[in-house]
Amino acid sequence: MTQAPIRIIGIDPGLRRTGWGVITAEGSRLGYVAGGTLKADERLPLAERLLSLHEQLTRVVAEWTPDEAAVEETFVNKDARSTLKLGHARAVALLVPAAAGLSVAEYAPNAVKKCVVGAGHADKDQIHHMVKILLPRCKPDSADAADALAVAVTHAHHRTSAVARIAAGAVAS
């Protein structure tokens, strides 16, 4: 059974920089489409930074027309205030694709690292390196963009596994 190619947008949310990456997945074959980094002016008030991220991400989704979205979950650190602010950026990353009618999956940072690198505690350089191996045409403009592509690859892997399980169940019936 051949699966139709789908476009997946991966999003690595941040208040200063939000990485995004679009890939195609056709069965287990992956292809690079586009990627980049959205930036918000740190001097602006929080609400205006969030609005800027919302507008930029809305343009990306409209331009690259993904079929599904995947967002990295927030890494909780010792500074509750910073974690809460990052949560606001993550809300924008969840809201924009949902408003465009896309299903949105969420993945923990360690799950993304384990899927792409094979170890849940990989560093940014390892992720960047593996993303370039998995998607040879890509040249991420930042670690955030590489992370976003890794999130998209993770979603492609998980959805392919789910489709295979469903197909196996249909065959067994």
In this structure, what CATH number is given to the domain that contains residue 143? 3.30.420.10
Which CA distances in Å does 23 have to 18, 72, 106? 17, 16, 16
Query: Quick one: 118 exposed, middle or buried, by C-beta within 10 A (0-12, 13-18, 19+)?
Result: exposed
- Give domain status of residue 45, yes or no: yes
Specify whether the CB–CB gap between 66 and 22 falls below 8 A: yes
Among 42, 72, 79, 125, the active-site one is 72
Amino acid residing at 66: P
For the stretch 122-155, pLDDT in tens is 888 899 999 999 999 999 999 999 999 999 999 9
Token pair recorded at residue 166: 């469903």
- Give domain status of residue 84, yes or no: yes
Query: 59 or 122: whose pLDDT is higher?
Result: 59
pLDDT of residue 120: 75
Question: Comparing C-alpha atoms, which of 163, 107, 154, 120 is closest to residue 134?
Answer: 154
Q: Was 72 annotated as part of a binding site?
A: yes
- Give domain status of residue 91, yes or no: yes
Q: Tell me whether residue 12 is one of the annotated catalytic residues.
A: yes
> Residues with Cβ < 8 Å from 31, sequence gap 6 or more?
5, 23, 24, 25, 135, 137
The fraction of the chain above a pLDDT of 70, given in percent, is: 88
User: Model's pTM, two decimal places?
Assistant: 0.89
Q: Tell me whether residue 123 is one of the annotated catalytic residues.
A: no
Distance of alpha carbon 149 from alpha carbon 145, whole angstroms: 6
Query: By residue range, what is the domain housing residue 129?
Result: 6-166
Query: Radius of gyration of the chain from Cα atoms?
Result: 16
Q: How many domains does the chain have?
A: 1
Distance of alpha carbon 16 from alpha carbon 50, whole angstroms: 10
Q: Was 12 annotated as part of a binding site?
A: yes
- Give domain status of residue 171, yes or no: no
